Amino acid sequence: MATVKFEAQEIELTEGESVLECLERSGHPIPNSCRSGVCHSCLMRATAGELPPAAQKGLKDSHRAQGYFLSCCCYPDTDLSAVRVDADSMRIGARVLRKESLNERVLRVVLEANEPLDYFPGQFVNFARADGLVRSFSLASVPALDDGLEFHVALVPGGKMSGWLHHEAVPGDDLELMGPLGNCFYVPGNPEQPLFLLGTGTGLAPLYAIARDALHQGHTGAIHLFHGALVAADRYLVEALSALAQDHANFGYHPCVRDEAGADWVQGEVDAHALELVPNLKGWKVYLCGNPTLVRNVQRKAFLAGASMQDIYADAFLPAGG
C-beta of residue 195 within 8 angstroms of C-beta of residue 214 = yes
Closest of 195, 154, 158 to residue 287, by C-alpha: 195
The 3-state DSSP class for residue 43 equals strand
Per-residue tens of pLDDT for the chain, all 322 residues: 899 999 889 999 999 999 999 999 999 989 888 888 888 889 999 999 999 999 999 886 767 887 889 999 999 999 999 998 764 456 899 999 999 999 999 999 999 999 988 889 998 999 999 898 989 999 999 999 999 999 999 999 999 999 999 999 999 999 999 888 877 899 899 999 999 999 999 999 999 999 999 999 999 999 999 999 999 999 999 999 999 999 999 999 999 999 999 999 999 999 999 999 999 999 999 999 998 899 999 999 999 999 999 899 988 776 555 6
C-beta of residue 298 within 8 angstroms of C-beta of residue 322 = no
Contacts with 13 (C-beta within 8 Å, 6 or more apart), sequence order: 1, 2, 3, 4, 19, 22, 76
CATH superfamily of 91-181: Translation factors (2.40.30.10)
Judge if 3-85 and 195-316 fold alike in CATH terms: no
Contacts with 21 (C-beta within 8 Å, 6 or more apart), sequence order: none
At 59-86, the pLDDT tens digits run: 867 678 878 899 999 999 999 999 987 6
pLDDT of residue 90: 65
State how beta strands 3-6 and 80-84 pair. parallel
CB < 8 Å & 24+ apart, contacts of 59-63: none
Nearest-angstrom CA–CA distance, 50 and 20 = 16
Domain boundaries, the chain: 3-85, 91-181, 195-316
Closest of 257, 285, 252 to residue 270, by C-alpha: 257
Q: Is the CATH number of domain 3-85 3.10.20.30? A: yes
At 171-192, the pLDDT tens digits run: 999 999 988 887 789 989 999 9
C-beta of residue 29 within 8 angstroms of C-beta of residue 132 = yes
pLDDT of residue 321: 53
H helices of the chain, where? 19-25, 61-65, 87-90, 160-167, 204-216, 238-247, 270-277, 292-304
Most distant CA pair in the chain, distance: 65
Q: Which CATH number fits domain 195-316: 3.40.50.920, 3.40.50.80, 3.40.140.10, 3.40.1190.10?
A: 3.40.50.80
pTM score of the predicted model: 0.78
